[in-house]
């Protein structure tokens, strides 16, 4: 038979609190990390976008010639070191802007199909017109 006292329960609770705090600290440190792993998506995205953009622009400006690849690499190696820090530094601002723009709309002020049908029925009744017969079933 196992005996538990208030002291052993308090100790277990304190241990679990310490473990959960350590896990939260670890998650926070990874999420706000300046390690290569946190920079990798931005490095790859800016690298690929600047590679394609400089190739298209060089091809439009110079055409295909014997020095195209060298000029393209020169342009890309000039643009990418500018694009990456700009994208990485602006990432928190862009994320905040994206969250603001994608907030859910209040259902009271949102335009819904049932709201449109209700206003349409009211306007039709107010004007003294008859509603056309419904060809498809409409849920009201």
Give me the average pLDDT of each 10-residue run along the chain (140 residues). 49 55 52 69 87 88 82 88 89 88 72 78 83 64
pLDDT the model gives residue 79: 92
CA separation for the pair 5, 95 (Å, rounded)? 49
pLDDT the model gives residue 119: 83
The residue with tokens 């029925």 is 121
Answer whether 42's CB lies under 8 Å from 91's CB.
yes
How buried is residue 71: exposed, middle or buried, by Cβ count under 10 Å (0-12/13-18/19+)?
A: middle
pLDDT the model gives residue 108: 67
pTM of the model: 0.46
pLDDT the model gives residue 71: 84
How buried is residue 103: exposed, middle or buried, by Cβ count under 10 Å (0-12/13-18/19+)?
A: exposed
CA separation for the pair 24, 16 (Å, rounded)? 12
């Amino acid at each position: 038979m196992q005996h538990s006292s208030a002291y052993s329960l308090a100790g277990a609770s304190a241990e679990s609190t310490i473990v959960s705090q350590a896990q939260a600290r670890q998650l926070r440190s990874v999420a706000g990390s300046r390690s290569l792993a946190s920079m990798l998506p931005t490095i790859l995205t800016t690298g690929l976008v600047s590679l394609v953009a400089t190739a298209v622009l060089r091809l439009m400006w110079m055409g295909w010639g014997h020095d195209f690849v060298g000029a393209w690499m020169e342009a890309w190696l000039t643009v990418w070191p500018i694009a990456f820090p700009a994208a990485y530094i602006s990432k928190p601002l862009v994320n905040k802007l994206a969250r603001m723009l994608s907030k859910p709309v209040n259902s009271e002020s949102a335009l819904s199909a049932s709201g449109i049908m209700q206003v349409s029925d009211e306007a039709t009744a107010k004007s003294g017109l008859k509603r056309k017969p419904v060809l498809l079933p409409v849920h009201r």
